Structure 1
Amino acid sequence: MRTEYRLGIDAGGTFTDFVLADRSGQVRLYKALSTPQDPTLAIRNGLALISEDLGVAASEIIPNCDLCINGTTVGLNALIQHKGAKTGLICTAGHEDSLEIRLGHKEDGYRYDPEYPPATMLVPRYLRRGARERVLSDGRVRMPLNEDDVRAACELFRAEGVETVAISFVWSVLHPDHERRAGAIVREMMPGAILTLGSELYPQVREYTRTSTAVVNAYLAPIMKRYVDAVDAYFQALGARQPVRYFQSNGGLAIGQAMTDRSVYAINSGPASAPAAGQYVCEPFGKRDVITVDMGGTSFDITLTKDGLTNINKNIDFLRYRIGVPMIQVETLGAGGGSIGWIDEMGLMQMGPQSAGSDPGPACYGQGGTLPTVSDANLVLGYLNPDGLVGGRLPLDYRKAHDAIRTNLAEPLGLTVERAAYGMFTIVNANMVNGIRRVTVERGYDPRDFVLVGAGGATAAHITALAEAMGINTIVLPKLASGLCAFGQIISDVKYNYMATAPLRLDNDAAYARVDALFHEIEAQGIAHLKADGFDDGSIAIRRSLDMRYVGQVHECTVEIDRFTVDASSVEAIREAFHRRHEQLYTYSERHSTVEVVNIESTLYGLLDKPKRMHLGAGVRPDEALKGHRDAVFGADGSRRSTPIIDGGLLGAGARVEGPAIIEEVTTTIVIEPGWTAVLDESGSYLITRNRTEGK
């Protein structure tokens, strides 16, 4: 059967976005309020919107999809709120406290703060049990595994109601047999428990990182399993012909079983698709240096792509927990449409990170919220349509927004409501600009060399102000901005990371052969995995990297290499690639020093057909799409200015809108500030540029 659709679903803190693409290139966007208490309810509500729009039942749409893709915040929320499963840890005896020792220091930024509290342990001390065993750093067994210790741990775990177990021994990456035997005992004594082996999940040197990663994975696994089982069952009941794919924090898709076994990859599931979407919408303009920003209802996410490559993080502290597996580098702030304005003890206005979320939501939603939020400020400033958002499906209450700002901020600070609202707008923008600077300036990039891509429903109201503050002259804002992460999912490929440890100096034939054999071993695993998922040799791509350092260095850097035989004739190219990478990161290299490999990694892609690119036809002129005028505030004095309101749904390719103006799309509102011009491209994106002769 020829399928007609591809469906992407991105569950955020406030809204769940749905993108439905068909073979003609048409892309439809829908939004439903997120339902944190039952994430599958939001999916049902979104599919009901799609059915209503198409006039076709969901049971007819889903079987007609070649892929249904889900990005979820379930794992992230469980980690933030510490609502994961009850977890037990079996580790090498004497290493029960490595999770709390944390290599002897706090996270960067708080290392010398004596008042910074310790992180909440995902496994309490009494559920961290040691097993006597010892493997040396060369892989030789010094002490066999004491199986009685493992059985005693299982007895305790059963008595305490533990439902998920992590096992991580010190040198298991060189000799995994002890972990495997301990795992077999756990399966025997706790058949209902979910098991995570550190040597399988993250087979790399660094015991603390491996143990922490295994614990986070185990902590989230039952949560993700229940979610995946519920979503899979729901789509199967609707007649889905393919298994649901889930978006991973490494920037690729995976089947549900992989997300259960490797739940740690679900942590940044939603925002990880933004870079792919940002690159995609910039291709028609020939731009490869891209900053993608996504402002939703709860958070503001920033990703950076340089020369078409997005930064990948490994071995980082995320929400205070060390995670080793590769993750798209996302800077996340508590700055969304629901971010709450408040007054600190110094009498200064602050914005966030607290959020009203979707329940009760901003005051203007009329669902019981009484605290002033960014959305309330944007409504009072005249940026948002008082008739409502999402095509009127979400009505807004101007009076409640006005009163929330007046009562909580304006009157205590002695300001007019308009000036207080503009202060909220300015402060949240400053918070977002600081986040963009951390991703760019603090990492050696000049933001003025990049294009700013807007994603998320709330971003478009702030995008020109952000670009102005950063000195960025070019913005690309797609009509699909509010669902861009969901769109990024439907243009992504299946992606799995396979790793191995290889502590070897690159100075002899035996080392070359060992590295080459390890690459082939892990790639064979990945190829078998993808072929079982329906991919053939022609639709599988492989990229390799090595973690390398000079002998004597403590930390290594990741070096990308092509896929070739590692031998005496090719090793010089590997060394040179490392020297160049070292220079990029640290401004110098030591070509006279011996180089060693620490870890290797192969990333395997199952390549999918991509939906046809959107192509806009002719539409009406901006003056013919004029809906009217609305008073809007564009300055700190709070004065209002009559501003044209344009119906973006009527505009066609080539339409040009001069600021100040407000373009209302169905799911987002674009504020074009004075000094900026927007031109709608045939690819479905607005190219917004700063006027060279006029400043704000």
Structure 2
Amino acid sequence: MKSQYRLGIDAGGTFTDFVLAEKSGQVRLYKALSTPQDPTLAIRNGLQLMADDLGVPASEIIPNCDLCINGTTVGLNALITHKGAKTGLICTAGHEDSLEIRLGHKEDGYRYDPDYPPATMLVPRYLRRGVRERVLSDGTVRQPLTEADVRAACEIFRAEGVDTVAISFVWSVLHPEHEARAGEIVREMLPNVVLTLGSELYPQVREYTRTSTAVVNAYLAPIMRRYVQAVDAYFRSLGAKQPVRYYQSNGGLAVGQVMTDRSVYAINSGPASAPAAGQYVCDPFGKRDVITVDMGGTSFDITLTKDGLTNINKNIDFLRYRIGVPMIQVETLGAGGGSIGWIDEMGLMQMGPQSAGSDPGPACYGQGGKLPTVSDANLVLGYLNPDGLVGGRLPLDYAKAEQAIRTNLADPLGMTVERAAYGMFTIVNANMVNGIRRVTVERGYDPRDFVLVGAGGATAAHITALADAIGIDTIVLPKLASGLCAFGQIISDVKYNYMATAPLRLDNDAAYARIDELFAQIEGQGLAHLQADGFGKQDTRVKRSLDMRYVGQVHECTVDIDTFQVDAQSIGQIIAAFHKRHEQLYTYAEPNSTVEVVNIESTVYGVVEKPGRMSIGAGASPDKALKGHREAVFTADGKRIHTPIYDGTPLGAGATIHGPAVIEEVTTTIVIEPGWTARLDESGSYLMTRDGRKGDR
């Protein structure tokens, strides 16, 4: 790092987090309320907090940053609320309804439910225009492109005010010329629309997946373009010397132009950095099996890392839309600090997924919220400081929290406010535990073999209760927990995925040469891209994978390989790796069956220099950091316990605190349930263990 700072910004549904790291490893964390109506406003507010703290204007901080990195929910929110751009689709005639047919598939859990409604179409039927052209599965042209049909589609799009167009033809990955020519016509007739070509964005076999991915990308592209232009312009006005980098859902950084062209990679931008951060904070303890959980104001995100490797999803249904490009596997559910408590038609208490968000927010925020939320429950239970959060900058109103719980839950259910609040706490924890089980037990992992890492501002109040419920003995909770995803951004590398389709049987020499040729082509593109971005050859690395299957199978599995030359001598390594992976996934292999490749992929990395590691030195002992006591509830009977409250800021390395207790950090509150112990490690994380079990380094 030649400059003094590196800045990471993570825009969540309720708060936007800012992490400013110095080359030495010192890290500062700031939080500002998110502003969904104008996401750049939250960035301005956060930089003002930073300027006030450092005593210098933002125009002096930003030029001293080697990288400014932005993780955003703009694309995700547009997809959730169906407020993307007006989109047109040009496809092969006869395939206008493939988006709606969806391969005849309903999501798991609803497959046999006749009342489950169809997904909302991002492109209405009248804006899906078929053109006469046809390419066969061997890449030969059966019917040339009818250019008049493309021009007719453009006339309709112009009349309808379409902002963005996706083009996806059958077997275009083997003969992309038709899509390329159609794209030229669209650019000629509609020069102001944003254009997405399926064969460029997702050059892989599977027409429905490619078309759906292209449509989602097109739907989000104008939104992302406006956002990127606004953010880039703002940082340039502050004197930024490097272009802003944006965090992608594949777990890497990209420049703004890439996020505009490949907007689909922005969907899970925020939580995708959690695994990198979780692994980083666990490295000092030698832990490589990690579950990272991030509870913010709106949602609860879960990621899993096994043996230091994080699962990557491809070809999945996300918010009911099929997306083919690689994405960090994130399990998300509506369980955040703003999740609302309510009573169902059976008279039972429920939590979420509805959220109060940042506007009006929980009742205790005093901004007009009237419904009881998790944050209100945590305040009533004695976990949160009534004087306020974020160092007192966000005051809390205990009376309004108590009134919201009493009116909406306690009185209707005939119980005390304390018991109702603990019921809210328990139910939202159960929802989160079910989510953790989905990424562990349901995928063959025993959660008790993992370390639980806490991220997000609200997680620390629930972390020991979650570990108890899931059977985990060790928790790593960094002081930076509430901004851990923003921290994950500043320790990540630039990352681009390049793909090619290669439907080849691995029983002839021509296949080996073709695979090697395709890898060389796509990696050449990627390395050239990184070189233009300022990376030297010594700062780049490549990771390869192939989608493979036995001849006759419908679905394939992804196999990682090293970057060796693919020839008659090395092909055996690839086939052996496929047999092994197939057996891992499906419990059997067929060594005597012929294997074929369907797609190939190369991931290219531009390795970014990392800031120094944070270090905590000697400081106050727990008795010196004791602020006082609060009456807190830890059991379903609502009984209050005289609980010590510690100030986490002055605590030094080695400080050990036994539960029940509460540690108040500037941007998060750590609740240590009875039976747990927290020890502050020199790396800046609390190592939390069940009493009787020592965490090892």
Q: TM-score range by the shorter chain?
A: over 0.9
Alpha-carbon distance in structure 2 between the residues aligned to 1:593 and 1:475: 45
Partner of 1:185: 185
Partner of 1:213: 213
Alpha-carbon distance in structure 2 between the residues aligned to 1:286 and 1:145: 58
Partner of 1:91: 91
Specify the SS of the correspondent of 1:584. helix
Alpha-carbon distance in structure 2 between the residues aligned to 1:93 and 1:693: 65
Alpha-carbon distance in structure 1 between the residues aligned to 2:108 and 2:539: 41
Alpha-carbon distance in structure 2 between the residues aligned to 1:110 and 1:207: 24
Q: For each residue in 1:421-451, what CA deviation from the matched residue of structure 2 results, as whole angstroms up to 9, or x when unmatched? A: 0000000000000000000000000000000
Specify the SS of the correspondent of 1:591. coil
2:561 is matched by which residue type in structure 1?
Answer: I
Alpha-carbon distance in structure 2 between the residues aligned to 1:593 and 1:374: 55
Partner of 1:681: 681
1:569 is matched by which residue type in structure 2?
Answer: Q
**Match runs of 1:379-418 below 5 Å:** 379-418=379-418
Alpha-carbon distance in structure 2 between the residues aligned to 1:135 and 1:250: 31
**What is the Cα deviation at residue 109 of structure 1?**
1.5
Alpha-carbon distance in structure 2 between the residues aligned to 1:534 and 1:97: 44
**Match runs of 1:173-572 below 5 Å:** 173-572=173-572
Partner of 1:594: 594
Alpha-carbon distance in structure 1 between the residues aligned to 2:568 and 2:25: 49
**What is the Cα deviation at residue 693 of structure 1?**
8.1
Alpha-carbon distance in structure 1 between the residues aligned to 2:155 and 2:535: 43
1:419 is matched by which residue type in structure 2?
Answer: R
Alpha-carbon distance in structure 1 between the residues aligned to 2:7 and 2:56: 15
Partner of 1:671: 671
Specify the SS of the correspondent of 1:90. strand
1:167 is matched by which residue type in structure 2?
Answer: I
Partner of 1:129: 129
1:644 is matched by which residue type in structure 2?
Answer: P
Alpha-carbon distance in structure 1 between the residues aligned to 2:650 and 2:17: 22
List alignment gaps of at least 5 residues for structure 1: none
Alpha-carbon distance in structure 2 between the residues aligned to 1:105 and 1:15: 36
Q: For each residue in 1:628-647, what CA deviation from the matched residue of structure 2 results, as whole angstroms up to 9, or x when unmatched? A: 00000000000000000000
Alpha-carbon distance in structure 2 between the residues aligned to 1:199 and 1:25: 43
Partner of 1:168: 168
Alpha-carbon distance in structure 2 between the residues aligned to 1:143 and 1:187: 23
Alpha-carbon distance in structure 1 between the residues aligned to 2:693 and 2:505: 59
Alpha-carbon distance in structure 2 between the residues aligned to 1:625 and 1:104: 61
Alpha-carbon distance in structure 1 between the residues aligned to 2:110 and 2:565: 44
Specify the SS of the correspondent of 2:590. coil
**What is the Cα deviation at residue 108 of structure 1?**
1.5
Alpha-carbon distance in structure 2 between the residues aligned to 1:23 and 1:214: 40
| Structure 1 vs Structure 2 CA RMSD | 0.8
Specify the SS of the correspondent of 1:486. helix
Alpha-carbon distance in structure 1 between the residues aligned to 2:5 and 2:117: 49
Specify the SS of the correspondent of 1:400. helix
Alpha-carbon distance in structure 2 between the residues aligned to 1:107 and 1:165: 27
Alpha-carbon distance in structure 1 between the residues aligned to 2:391 and 2:581: 49
Alpha-carbon distance in structure 1 between the residues aligned to 2:411 and 2:592: 68
Specify the SS of the correspondent of 1:107. coil
Alpha-carbon distance in structure 2 between the residues aligned to 1:117 and 1:517: 46
Partner of 1:72: 72
Q: For each residue in 1:295-349, what CA deviation from the matched residue of structure 2 results, as whole angstroms up to 9, or x when unmatched? A: 0000000000000000000000000000000000000000000000000000000
Partner of 1:653: 653
1:276 is matched by which residue type in structure 2?
Answer: A
Q: For each residue in 1:604-631, what CA deviation from the matched residue of structure 2 results, as whole angstroms up to 9, or x when unmatched? A: 0000000000011001110110000000
1:144 is matched by which residue type in structure 2?
Answer: P
Alpha-carbon distance in structure 2 between the residues aligned to 1:336 and 1:115: 29
**Match runs of 1:28-67 below 5 Å:** 28-67=28-67
Alpha-carbon distance in structure 2 between the residues aligned to 1:604 and 1:693: 42
Specify the SS of the correspondent of 1:170. coil
1:251 is matched by which residue type in structure 2?
Answer: G
2:126 is matched by which residue type in structure 1?
Answer: Y
Alpha-carbon distance in structure 2 between the residues aligned to 1:683 and 1:215: 45
**What is the Cα deviation at residue 692 of structure 1?**
2.8
Partner of 2:21: 21
Specify the SS of the correspondent of 1:623. helix
**What is the Cα deviation at residue 104 of structure 1?**
0.9
Alpha-carbon distance in structure 1 between the residues aligned to 2:2 and 2:429: 47
**What is the Cα deviation at residue 23 of structure 1?**
1.3
Identity across the alignment (%): 86
Alpha-carbon distance in structure 2 between the residues aligned to 1:668 and 1:397: 18
Residue 151 (structure 2) pairs with residue 151 (structure 1)? yes
**What is the Cα deviation at residue 2 of structure 1?**
4.0
> 4+ runs of 1 displaced by more than 4 Å?
none
Specify the SS of the correspondent of 2:623. coil
Alpha-carbon distance in structure 1 between the residues aligned to 2:184 and 2:24: 52
1:190 is matched by which residue type in structure 2?
Answer: L
Alpha-carbon distance in structure 1 between the residues aligned to 2:327 and 2:137: 28
1:671 is matched by which residue type in structure 2?
Answer: V
Alpha-carbon distance in structure 2 between the residues aligned to 1:581 and 1:275: 23
Partner of 1:3: 3
Partner of 1:581: 581
Alpha-carbon distance in structure 2 between the residues aligned to 1:600 and 1:286: 33
Alpha-carbon distance in structure 2 between the residues aligned to 1:2 and 1:126: 54
Alpha-carbon distance in structure 2 between the residues aligned to 1:657 and 1:138: 67
Specify the SS of the correspondent of 2:513. helix
Residue 173 (structure 2) pairs with residue 139 (structure 1)? no
**What is the Cα deviation at residue 254 of structure 1?**
0.2
Alpha-carbon distance in structure 2 between the residues aligned to 1:368 and 1:530: 49
1:122 is matched by which residue type in structure 2?
Answer: L
TM-score, structure 2 as length reference: 0.99
1:208 is matched by which residue type in structure 2?
Answer: Y
**What is the Cα deviation at residue 107 of structure 1?**
1.3
Specify the SS of the correspondent of 2:395. coil
Alpha-carbon distance in structure 2 between the residues aligned to 1:556 and 1:468: 38
Alpha-carbon distance in structure 2 between the residues aligned to 1:454 and 1:585: 29
Alpha-carbon distance in structure 1 between the residues aligned to 2:2 and 2:111: 58
**What is the Cα deviation at residue 247 of structure 1?**
0.1
1:314 is matched by which residue type in structure 2?
Answer: K
**What is the Cα deviation at residue 105 of structure 1?**
1.8
Alpha-carbon distance in structure 1 between the residues aligned to 2:171 and 2:255: 30
Alpha-carbon distance in structure 1 between the residues aligned to 2:292 and 2:43: 26
Partner of 1:613: 613
